Amino acid sequence: MSDVGAGTQNPPERSYLRLSIMQFFFWFAAATGTYLTIFLIRQGFEPNQIGVIVATNSAVVIIAGPFWGTIADKLRSIRKVFLLCITISIVLWTVVPASSRIDLGPINFPWGTFGPLALMFLIIPISAFFRMPAHSLMDAFTVQNCHLGGISYGHVRLWGSVGWTVMCMILSYLLPRFGVEMAFYMYGVAFIPLYLLMWNAKGVDVAKASKEKRTFKSMGFGRLFKSYYFVTYLFFAMMMHMPVVVSMTYLPFLVQSVDGNLEMIGLVAGYKALLEIPTLLLMRPLREKFPLPVAIGTAAVLYIIEALFYTRVTHFYQIIALQTLHGLGGGFMIGAATNYIYTMAPEGLNSTAHTLLGAVNSTSGIIGSLVGGVLIMAVGISRSYMLIAITITFALVYFVATLFIGVKILKKPIPFKKLA
């Protein structure tokens, strides 16, 4: 029997250690994805072209996220599905640099010719089908086992931020010396420890209490959409995630605008992740005093202030300093949103709920990536951040309105489970 989660005979301290190490190595590896935009810039792509590539990834995840989440819930094992996804993504992601040099030639469609097309254009979205849902699966796996084992999710998840920071610092040293391609190779290497840990975490299933075979019909997916707060939160997540995606995806262009070194973008991402830790540490005491939506709203406010200040930056180190706001906001959002989704997920649909949220975020990512690239080309990077601030403000107003309507008018209490 695994020492992760409830139903084990191991002490909570050992479960906490195992989950924390898993979080560290997952986000240690995932941090390498930060450099996709920089890699594409080095390949000579314009903002609108990068937007198409990122949007294509997001389109793939709209299907992939709910697909893998549903399979995990049906099998009652997030672990098995997670292992399959990262195995294939490791292979595909590490061959992206080499695939960029393989020209497939122009592709002829009935409505015209597209190309020349590099193999990379196929590898990146195919890898996204396996790579991106792993994030939602890891969230579902961790929050489920924290809840069952009586462990603070925030105290576990902060080690993911530490792992992200460490990888960013390593790549900030390696990339100027060996090239941005190194980030793709580090992805596969970094996942090896996590793979071994997850492989040995046998027995951690979605619903161990029942051995009855589940059918897709019996799972009752409609239960998710009967929750007023779940449905309204999905719309908020879409509105919120869209400008945040634009902010982070095109941050390298803001760095370029102040003559910053793109290879040092790891300092920005690493510092941001480091600042997530204080708020993750505070999540448990904050939850005892404030509802989870308050933390989510606080994150939105911090993102708004950050975007407004970006319109005035003139130096690379000002961008790093402003990542303080994004890091603190990210800590609130990570700690609160994952738990909030868990509180609203019906029994047996934890993975589906998290990956459905991931699909919604991917939908907004498509819109954000496409519109953001065109927007930057049209009005410039600084003015784009003003529009980002306005969009997040609109999303926040909508979120507060849905809570007010739910509690005061519809008389629906905000869902709450006793969380670790």
Q: What is the pLDDT of residue 24?
A: 93
Q: Are 39 and 180 in contact (CB under 8 A)?
A: yes
Q: What is the pLDDT of residue 401?
A: 95
Q: What is the pLDDT of residue 348?
A: 65
Q: What is the pLDDT of residue 379?
A: 83
- Cα angle 26, 55, 237 (rounded to 5 degrees) comes to 70
Residue 400 has pLDDT above 90, yes or no: yes
206-225: average pLDDT: 58
CB atoms within 10 A of CB 367: 18
Q: Are 352 and 69 in contact (CB under 8 A)?
A: yes
pTM: 0.69
Residue 301: band (very low, low, confident or very high) from pLDDT cuts 50, 70, 90: very high
Q: What is the pLDDT of residue 211?
A: 52
Q: Which residues contact 166 (CB under 8 A, 6 or more apart)?
A: 28, 270
CATH class of the 12-205+219-409 domain in this structure: mainly alpha
Q: What is the pLDDT of residues 306-326, one digit of tens each?
A: 999 999 888 888 888 888 898
Instruction: Give DSSP secondary structure letters for 401-415.
Output: HHHHIIIIIS--PPP
Q: Are 319 and 251 in contact (CB under 8 A)?
A: yes
Residue 204: band (very low, low, confident or very high) from pLDDT cuts 50, 70, 90: low
Q: Are 154 and 281 in contact (CB under 8 A)?
A: yes
Q: What is the pLDDT of residue 302?
A: 95
Q: What is the pLDDT of residues 69-78, one digit of tens each?
A: 888 877 878 8
CA distances from 217 to 107, 194, 346 (A): 41, 33, 15
321-333: average pLDDT: 88
CA distances from 132 to 39, 266, 371, 375 (A): 18, 20, 21, 25
372-384: average pLDDT: 81
Q: Are 72 and 144 in contact (CB under 8 A)?
A: no
